[in-house]
Structure 1
Amino acid sequence: MAVVNRIADYADDMTAWRRHLHTIPELGFDCPLTAAFIAERLREFGVDELHEGIAKTGIVAIINGQGAGPTIGLRADFDGLPITEQTGLAHASRHPGQMHACGHDGHTTMLLGAARYLAETRNFTGRVALIFQPAEEAGGGAGVMVDEGIMERFEISQVYALHNEPGEPEGSFLTTRGPIMAAVGIFRIDINGQGGHAAMPHQTRDPIMAACGIAQALQTITSRNNNALDNLVLSVTQIHAGSANNVIPDHAWLNGTVRTFDADVQDMVQARMEQIVAGQAAAYGVSAELTFTTTYPATINTAENADFAAEVAREIAGAERVTTDTPRHMGAEDFSYMLNARPGAYLFLGQGESAGLHHPEYEFNDAIAPVGASFFARLVERAQPIG
Structure 2
Amino acid sequence: MPSYLDPLSLEQAALARQWRHDLHAHPELGYQEHRTSAAIAALLEGFGLSVTRGLGGTGVVATLTRGAGPAIGLRADIDALPVQETGNAAHASTHPGCMHACGHDGHSAILLATAQHLSQASDFSGQVHFIFQPAEETGAGARRMIEDGLFERFPMQAVYGLHNWPGLPQGQVAVNPGAMMASQDTFEIVIEGSGAHAAMPERGNDPVVVATQMVSSLHTLVSRRVSPLDAAVLSVTMIEAGTAYNIIPHTATLRGTVRCLAPAVRERMREMVTTLGETLPQAFAARATVHYREGYPVTLNDPACAARVREVATALLSEHNVQWAGNASMASEDFAYLLQACPGAYFWLGADGAEASRPLHHPAYDFNDELIGLGVRLLCGVVGSYQL
TM-score band w.r.t. shorter chain: over 0.9
Amino acid at match of 1:293: R
2:31 equivalent in structure 1? 29
Once the two structures are superposed, what CA deviation does each residue of 1:179-216 show, in whole Å capped at 9, x if it has no partner?
Answer: 11111211111122222322222222212222111111
The corresponding residue for 2:153 is 153
What is the aligned partner in structure 1 of residue 368 from structure 2?
A: 365
Structure 2 counterpart SS, 1:349: strand
Structure 1 residue runs without a partner (length 5+):
none
Q: Which residue number in structure 1 is paired with residue 204 of structure 2?
A: 204
TM-score normalized with structure 2 length: 0.94
CA gap 1:317/1:8 in 2 versus in 1, 3 angstroms: farther
What is aligned with 2:60? 59
In 2: Cα distance, 1:330 partner to 1:27 partner: 23
| Equivalence for 1:5 | 7
Q: What's the offset of the Cα at 1:3?
A: 7.2
1:325 equivalenced with 2:325 (yes/no): yes
The aligned residue for residue 43 of structure 2 is 41
- Structure 1 residue 83: Cα displacement: 1.3
Using the TM superposition, name which of 95-104 and 72-81 deviates more: 95-104
TM-score of the pair, normalised by structure 1:
0.95
Cross-structure match for 1:86: 86
| Counterpart Cα distance in 2 of 1:296 and 1:215 | 24
Deviation at 1:8, TM superposition (A): 4.8
1:377 equivalent among 374, 380, 386: 380
Q: Distance in 2 between matches of 1:316 and 1:209?
A: 59
Alpha-carbon distance in 1 for matches of 2:208, 2:303: 48
Partners in 2 of 1:329 and 1:355 — Cα distance? Answer: 17
- TM superposition shift of 1:124: 2.1
Partner Cα distance (2:265, 2:90) in 1 = 47
Which amino acid in the other structure matches residue 299 of structure 1? T
For residues 238-280 of structure 1, the C-alpha deviation after alignment (integer angstroms, 9 at most, x for no partner) is 1111222222222221111111122322222222222222232
Matched residue of 1:166: which SS? strand
Change (3 A) 1:331 1:266: same
Report the secondary structure of 2:63's partner residue: strand
Quick one: structure 1 residues 122 and 255, their matched pair in 2 at CA, closer, same or farther if it must change by over 3 Å?
farther
- Deviation, 1:69, is 2.0
2:337 is matched with 337
Instruction: Tell me if structure 1 keeps the 8 A contact 2:5–2:380.
Output: no
**CA separation in 2, counterparts of 1:181 and 1:203?**
48
CA contact (8 A) 2:5 2:381 kept: no
User: Is residue 169 of structure 1 aligned with residue 169 of structure 2?
Assistant: yes
Higher mean displacement: 167-176 or 117-126: 117-126
Aligned to 2:213: 213
Q: Distance in 2 between matches of 1:186 and 1:250?
A: 23
Superposed, which structure 2 residues align to 1:233-272 within 5 Å? 233-272=233-272
Q: Could you tell me whether the CA contact under 8 Å between 2:70 and 2:386 is conserved in 1?
A: no
* Corresponding letter in the other structure for 1:77: D
Deviation at residue 122 of structure 1 after TM alignment: 4.9
Residues 9 and 171 (structure 1 numbering): CA distance in 2 closer, same or farther, change over 3 Å? farther
Superposed CA deviations along residues 334-379 of structure 1, whole A, max 9, x for unmatched, are 1111111111111100011111111111111001111101211222
Q: Secondary structure at the match of 2:293?
A: strand
CA RMSD of aligned residues (A): 1.6
Distance between the aligned counterparts of 1:20 and 1:262, measured in 2? Answer: 39
Using the TM superposition, give the Cα deviation of residue 326 of structure 1 relative to its aligned residue in structure 2, in angstroms: 2.0
The answer on whether the counterparts of 2:8 and 2:373 sit within 8 Å (CA) in structure 1 is no
Contact 1:8–1:370 (Cα < 8 Å) also in 2: no
Q: Which runs of 5+ in 2 are unaligned?
A: none
Q: 1:61 to 1:245 in 2, by over 3 A?
A: same
8 Å Cα contact 2:29-2:79 kept in structure 1:
yes
Contact map agreement 2:31 2:135 (CA 8 A) in 1: yes
Count residues with an aligned counterpart.
382
Moved over 3 A (4+): 6-9
Percent of counterpart pairs with the same letter?
A: 42
Match of 1:19 among 13, 18, 21: 21
Q: Any idea what SS the aligned residue of 2:32 has?
A: coil
Matched residue, 2:51: 50
Give distance in 1, aligned partners of 2:5 and 2:193: 63
Q: CA deviation at 1:218?
A: 0.3
Distance 1:343-1:8 versus aligned 2 partners, 3 A rule: farther
Flag the 1:164–1:3 CA change in 2: closer, same or farther, 3 A: farther
CA distance in 2, matches of 1:5, 1:185: 41
